Amino acid sequence: MTKPPTSTRTDKGVRGFDLDLHVTFARPLPREQALAVLRAAEGFTVDLYAPHDQPQAPVPSARLTGPLRDPDTLRAVLTAWLQGEVRSVEVGLHGFLRSATGQTEWMPWRRNAVLPRDQVARVAFDEGVKYVLE
Protein backbone atom coordinates (compact mmCIF):
# COMPACT_ATOMS: atom_id res chain seq x y z
CA MET A 1 0.00 0.00 0.00
CA THR A 2 1.43 3.40 -0.99
CA LYS A 3 0.97 6.56 1.00
CA PRO A 4 -0.64 9.61 -0.65
CA PRO A 5 1.83 12.35 -1.56
CA THR A 6 2.46 14.96 1.08
CA SER A 7 1.37 18.45 0.12
CA THR A 8 4.17 21.00 -0.13
CA ARG A 9 1.85 23.92 -0.77
CA THR A 10 2.22 26.90 1.55
CA ASP A 11 -0.20 29.80 1.64
CA LYS A 12 1.78 33.01 1.83
CA GLY A 13 -1.12 35.39 2.13
CA VAL A 14 -2.02 38.36 -0.02
CA ARG A 15 0.50 40.90 -1.29
CA GLY A 16 -0.31 44.30 -2.62
CA PHE A 17 -0.22 48.05 -2.13
CA ASP A 18 -2.61 50.21 -0.12
CA LEU A 19 -2.72 53.93 0.38
CA ASP A 20 -1.00 54.90 3.62
CA LEU A 21 -1.57 58.52 4.61
CA HIS A 22 -0.33 60.27 7.77
CA VAL A 23 -1.80 63.68 8.54
CA THR A 24 -0.30 66.06 11.10
CA PHE A 25 -2.64 68.88 12.06
CA ALA A 26 -1.37 72.47 12.33
CA ARG A 27 -2.54 72.34 15.95
CA PRO A 28 -4.14 69.48 17.90
CA LEU A 29 -7.87 69.36 17.17
CA PRO A 30 -10.81 68.13 19.22
CA ARG A 31 -11.77 64.59 18.16
CA GLU A 32 -14.98 65.64 16.37
CA GLN A 33 -13.23 68.44 14.48
CA ALA A 34 -10.36 66.10 13.43
CA LEU A 35 -12.88 63.57 12.09
CA ALA A 36 -14.73 66.34 10.24
CA VAL A 37 -11.50 67.44 8.52
CA LEU A 38 -10.61 63.84 7.59
CA ARG A 39 -14.13 63.10 6.30
CA ALA A 40 -13.15 64.72 2.99
CA ALA A 41 -11.12 61.56 2.24
CA GLU A 42 -13.98 59.07 2.01
CA GLY A 43 -13.57 55.31 2.06
CA PHE A 44 -10.44 55.00 4.19
CA THR A 45 -9.90 53.46 7.61
CA VAL A 46 -9.06 56.26 10.06
CA ASP A 47 -6.87 55.89 13.15
CA LEU A 48 -6.62 58.98 15.34
CA TYR A 49 -3.32 59.33 17.19
CA ALA A 50 -4.44 60.51 20.60
CA PRO A 51 -4.00 59.10 24.10
CA HIS A 52 -6.33 56.11 24.58
CA ASP A 53 -6.75 56.84 28.27
CA GLN A 54 -7.88 60.43 27.55
CA PRO A 55 -10.83 60.30 25.13
CA GLN A 56 -11.32 64.07 25.26
CA ALA A 57 -7.66 64.88 24.55
CA PRO A 58 -6.93 66.86 21.38
CA VAL A 59 -5.80 64.87 18.33
CA PRO A 60 -2.39 65.91 16.93
CA SER A 61 -2.36 63.54 13.95
CA ALA A 62 -4.07 60.64 12.20
CA ARG A 63 -3.44 57.75 9.81
CA LEU A 64 -5.71 56.76 6.93
CA THR A 65 -5.34 53.48 5.04
CA GLY A 66 -7.17 51.70 2.25
CA PRO A 67 -7.30 51.30 -1.50
CA LEU A 68 -6.55 54.29 -3.72
CA ARG A 69 -9.62 54.87 -5.89
CA ASP A 70 -9.23 58.26 -7.57
CA PRO A 71 -5.79 59.93 -7.42
CA ASP A 72 -7.07 63.30 -8.72
CA THR A 73 -9.78 63.52 -6.07
CA LEU A 74 -7.26 62.64 -3.37
CA ARG A 75 -4.84 65.30 -4.65
CA ALA A 76 -7.67 67.87 -4.37
CA VAL A 77 -8.32 66.75 -0.77
CA LEU A 78 -4.60 66.99 0.09
CA THR A 79 -4.45 70.50 -1.40
CA ALA A 80 -7.45 71.63 0.65
CA TRP A 81 -6.03 70.12 3.84
CA LEU A 82 -2.64 71.76 3.37
CA GLN A 83 -4.31 75.15 2.82
CA GLY A 84 -6.29 74.73 6.03
CA GLU A 85 -5.98 72.60 9.16
CA VAL A 86 -3.05 70.37 8.16
CA ARG A 87 0.65 71.14 8.69
CA SER A 88 2.13 68.14 6.84
CA VAL A 89 1.12 64.95 5.02
CA GLU A 90 3.01 61.74 4.32
CA VAL A 91 1.27 59.76 1.59
CA GLY A 92 2.03 56.84 -0.67
CA LEU A 93 1.16 53.37 -1.86
CA HIS A 94 2.68 51.18 0.84
CA GLY A 95 3.52 47.56 0.11
CA PHE A 96 2.03 44.95 2.41
CA LEU A 97 1.85 41.23 3.02
CA ARG A 98 -1.36 40.09 4.70
CA SER A 99 -1.32 36.64 6.28
CA ALA A 100 -4.14 34.12 6.03
CA THR A 101 -5.13 35.12 9.58
CA GLY A 102 -5.49 38.78 8.59
CA GLN A 103 -2.31 40.17 10.17
CA THR A 104 -0.68 42.84 7.99
CA GLU A 105 3.06 43.31 7.65
CA TRP A 106 4.03 46.61 6.02
CA MET A 107 7.08 46.56 3.77
CA PRO A 108 9.77 49.25 4.03
CA TRP A 109 9.34 52.25 1.77
CA ARG A 110 11.51 52.00 -1.36
CA ARG A 111 12.08 55.75 -1.52
CA ASN A 112 11.03 59.02 0.11
CA ALA A 113 10.23 62.11 -1.94
CA VAL A 114 10.02 65.40 -0.01
CA LEU A 115 7.95 68.08 -1.75
CA PRO A 116 6.88 71.61 -0.83
CA ARG A 117 3.28 71.73 0.37
CA ASP A 118 2.19 73.56 -2.77
CA GLN A 119 3.44 70.75 -5.05
CA VAL A 120 0.63 68.22 -4.48
CA ALA A 121 0.26 67.80 -8.27
CA ARG A 122 3.68 66.07 -8.28
CA VAL A 123 2.43 63.24 -6.05
CA ALA A 124 2.42 60.35 -8.54
CA PHE A 125 1.33 57.54 -6.18
CA ASP A 126 4.19 55.32 -7.34
CA GLU A 127 4.22 51.96 -5.53
CA GLY A 128 6.61 52.01 -2.58
CA VAL A 129 7.29 55.76 -2.70
CA LYS A 130 6.34 57.90 0.30
CA TYR A 131 5.66 61.54 -0.58
CA VAL A 132 6.22 64.00 2.26
CA LEU A 133 4.41 67.33 1.79
CA GLU A 134 5.45 69.99 4.28
* Domain spans in the chain, listed from the N-terminal domain onward: 14-133
Q: Rounded to an integer, what distance in angstroms lies between the CA atom of residue 100 and that of residue 132? A: 32
pLDDT at 10 over 50: no
What pLDDT does 56 receive?
Answer: 84
What pLDDT does 12 receive?
Answer: 60
Q: Are 100 and 64 in contact (CB under 8 A)?
A: no
- Per-chain mean pLDDT for the chain: 89
Q: Which helix (H) or strand (E) holds 23?
A: strand 14-29
Q: Mapping DSSP to helix (H, G, I), strand (E, B) and coil, where does residue 17 land? A: strand
Between residues 66 and 101, the one the model is more confident about: 66
Q: In CATH, what number does 14-133 get?
A: 3.30.70
What pLDDT does 88 receive?
Answer: 97
CA distances from 87 to 23, 30, 114, 132, 133 (A): 8, 16, 14, 11, 9
Which pLDDT tens digit goes with each residue over 75-128? 999 999 999 999 999 999 999 998 888 788 889 999 999 999 999 999 999 999
